[in-house]
Amino acid sequence: MPSTTVTVGSAIGLHARPAAVISEAVADAGVDVTLAVDGEEPVDAGSALMIMTLGATKGTEVTVESEDQATLDKIAALVASDLDA
């Protein structure tokens, strides 16, 4: 499955608001997307709660995986952006 690794850009990490934005984008895309931190088990990026369980803070590297390249690129860009701004 195609993947890319990006650095979390949100000032206080993937907490409730960024997780909700990301999970909503995944739901809108209608394809499976997973996120993983440092070799840990991937989580469903369609669930804000699962995203928050990653404990990803600003600067954490997150691997984004999806069969759909356009969705992969979109979610990776969201993870890398400052969704708190």
pTM of the model: 0.95
Residue 85 maps to a domain? no
CATH classification of the domain holding 44: 3.30.1340.10
- Looking at the domain assignment, is residue 10 inside a domain? yes
Distance separating alpha carbons of residues 49 and 61, to the nearest angstrom: 19
Gap between the terminal Cα atoms of the chain? 31
d(CA 26, CA 72): 9
pLDDT by residue (tens digit) across 38-73? 979 999 999 999 999 999 999 999 999 999 999 999
Which residue segment(s) compose the domain that 60 sits in? 3-80
Number of domains into which the chain is organized: 1
Q: What is the mean pLDDT of the chain?
A: 96
Dihedrals phi, psi of 43, to nearest 5 degrees: -120, 155
Q: Provide mean pLDDT across the span 9-33.
A: 97
